[in-house]
Amino acid sequence: MPYPSRRQFLHGVAAGAAAFPFAAGIRSLAAPKHQLPGILGLELYTLRHLMAKDVPGTLKLVKDWGFEDVEGGGLPGKTAAEFKALLGQYGLRMQSMLTGYETLRDKLPSVVKDAKDTGCSYVGTAWIPHQGPFTRQHVDQAATDFAAWGKALAGEGLQFFYHVHGYEFGTSPDGTLLDTLMKQSPQKDVAFQMDVFWVMRGGGDPAALLTKYPGRFLLMHLKDIAKGTALGDPTGSAPDETSVPLGQGQVNWPAVLKAAKAGGTKMFYIEDEHPKAEDQVPLTLKYLENLAV
């Protein structure tokens, strides 16, 4: 997920009038079966290429898979209230949203309004701006900003969170830069979202982090990383094709989800960045249906 792609998505997707050729053939499904200790939803970035062509058709597909919850970012040519209404037409709700770091910094009141108008309870960001290596200086600034944003959002009845992106595992006196960010960010106002793919890609151990920081990772992106993909990469980037259905990659999902259950994770969102993610999501749902947690 190169940052410019995510940033473009968060800034909004243009709703097109193109046909949605496969939607008519999708069989409507019951709610996905799973034993996760919380809500199971879909991160809409998974279907960004379809959203760019046909927003209503994409939302129909999401509902046909059985989802009731989605996580989103950019509003596809609509106001937040209009997008909430559109989601409602397909029996969907959005309890969590991601937005840009700069947007939180420069337009916090508008973020609060969008979150409330959309019906969100969780507001997060997925990238700390940095040029070159991610350093302690970036952590110090981010921790200061997170504390301020978290307090302000809490005052509006919203929970701020940071989505870990894999470049935070450089060394620091606390262990890693992520350890320092955790230490400097007040737990009451700053939660975290574990993206299991990016933790693995960056060289972290998802289950160990969940065990080390109970109550901090309130949200999770369920995303597997293809076998053979290098780990310990500090760039926060990887080819989209390295996203694979859950259970087909390197992640020990029973261990991760057991730790998530013990650690208090509440919101689980499937995210698949593969160019043909729509073919992989049903396989992920089948895996979760048969996975005991």
Sorted by where each starts, the structural domains of the chain and their CATH numbers stand as: 3-10+29-289 (3.20.20.150)
The whole-number average pLDDT for the span 269-288 is 97
Can you spell out the DSSP letters for the chain?
Answer: --HHHHHHHHT---------TTGGGPPP-PSPP---SSEEEEEGGGGHHHHTT-HHHHHHHHHHTT--EEEE-S-SSS-HHHHHHHHHHTT-EEEEEE--HHHHHH-HHHHHHHHHHHT-SEEEE-----SSS--HHHHHHHHHHHHHHHHHHHTTT-EEEEE--S---SEETTEEHHHHHHHHS-TTTEEEEEEHHHHHHHT--HHHHHHHSTTTEEEEEE-EEBTT--SS-TTS---GGGEE-TTSBS--HHHHHHHHHHHT--EEEE---STTHHHHHHHHHHHHHT---
Q: Between 198 and 1, where is the model more confident?
A: 198
Please say if the pLDDT value at position 157 is more than 70.
yes
**Predicted structure pTM score:** 0.91
Give me the chain's average pLDDT, please.
Answer: 91
103-149, pLDDT tens digit by residue? 999 999 999 999 999 999 999 999 999 999 999 999 999 999 999 99
